[in-house]
């Protein structure tokens, strides 16, 4: 099977690349240089004003895995067209090609499609109501894929982190190494999710698709790891595990504060907890351990010498 992986140098793409290679011939695309020379790699950003159909017609993938996304949440407020081009128009074009050519599509969305006013974990059938341009653009991408009629799985997730790229874990570690006293928001709650676990969930979808043949399971599914925390709780866990792993000598001073103390261009939902019952029932995919996953990432950061 020919597989096209977009955004291959990002957090999720980097985790997916070696796993997808076990399922077929992978062509990876990104604007960055290749991370794995053993795979076919195109240094191109086909999500940004390119012509994805030309590449698709040449490669003829049976599976498209789209991790390319515009994720600059605050910047999207001043660049809405770019956000919609990459997060909505591009996946819609991938989906239209997939429908026409009987290919499958895996795509990724966000907890930010919801307004954060729920009193329980969000299920897939809850009505989206984004608070910012980024959430609007991701929701538009979901709808474009659904309207195409292609066989697809959209994985909504939250608070993704890894040992590389730009994410909350590495930002907190960088600030801690500077010896700063920190204030972290404690009135926004979500489910931190390891990029590796999200990649593994994607592979489980592919495995089930392969087993089911034509007419496999399709639609929107939630996946996140198993713990519900505030950003402050998340930071505290990062520092505790980092001291235990020898990455930090001591935990920095850490104070909880309201999000109102950190005004940002894009409004964030205060509640971003996703219910994962559907993906467990349909694909037998269950949330991975937050604590075990975070500790594994901390160990990777230490092993790479990123002190």
The rounded distance, in Å, linking the Cα atoms of 206 and 232 is 35
The rounded distance, in Å, linking the Cα atoms of 22 and 59 is 18
Q: Which residues contact 304 (CB under 8 A, 6 or more apart)?
A: 163
134 is catalytic: yes
User: CA nearest 290: which of 255, 238, 250, 251?
Assistant: 238
Looking at 178-276, list the stretches that DSSP marks H as alpha helix, in order from N- to C-terminal side.
195-212, 231-244
Confirm if 238 and 169 have CB atoms less than 8 A apart: yes
DSSP conformation letters of 107-120: EEEEGGGS-S--SS
Token code pair at residue 244:
């235990």
The rounded distance, in Å, linking the Cα atoms of 225 and 162 is 13
Task: Give the pairing of strands 63-66 and 2-6.
Answer: parallel
Which of 108, 134, 161, 223 is flagged as catalytic? 134
Token code pair at residue 10:
């990002």
User: CA nearest 190: which of 118, 138, 139?
Assistant: 118
Which amino acids are annotated catalytic? 134
């Amino acid at each position: 099977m020919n597989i096209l992986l977009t955004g291959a140098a990002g957090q999720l793409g980097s985790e997916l690349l070696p796993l997808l290679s076990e399922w077929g011939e992978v062509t990876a695309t990104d604007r960055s240089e290749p991370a794995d020379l053993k795979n076919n790699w195109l240094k191109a950003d086909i999500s940004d004003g390119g012509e994805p159909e030309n590449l698709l017609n040449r490669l003829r993938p049976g599976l498209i895995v789209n991790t390319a996304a515009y994720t600059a949440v605050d910047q999207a407020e001043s660049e809405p067209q770019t956000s919609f081009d990459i997060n909505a128009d591009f996946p819609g074009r991938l989906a239209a090609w997939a429908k026409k050519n009987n290919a499958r599509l895996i795509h990724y969305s966000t907890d930010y499609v919801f307004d954060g006013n729920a009193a329980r974990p969000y299920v897939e059938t809850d009505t989206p109501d984004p608070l910012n341009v980024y959430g609007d653009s991701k929701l538009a991408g979901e709808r474009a894929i659904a309207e195409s009629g292609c066989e697809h799985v959209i994985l909504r997730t939250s608070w993704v982190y890894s040992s590389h790229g730009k994410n909350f874990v590495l930002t907190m570690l960088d600030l801690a190494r500077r010896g700063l006293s920190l204030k972290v928001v404690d009135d926004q709650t979500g489910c931190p999710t390891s990029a590796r676990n999200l990649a593994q969930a994607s592979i489980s979808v592919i495995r089930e698709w392969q087993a089911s043949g034509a007419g496999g399971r399709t639609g929107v599914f939630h996946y996140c790891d198993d713990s519900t925390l505030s950003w402050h709780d998340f930071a505290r866990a990062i520092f505790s595990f980092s001291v235990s792993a020898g990455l930090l000598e001591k935990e920095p001073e850490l104070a909880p504060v309201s999000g109102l103390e950190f005004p940002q261009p894009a409004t964030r939902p205060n509640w971003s907890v996703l219910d994962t019952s559907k993906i467990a029932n349909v694909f037998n995919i269950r949330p991975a351990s937050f604590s075990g996953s975070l500790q594994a990432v901390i160990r990777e950061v230490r092993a790479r010498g990123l002190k």
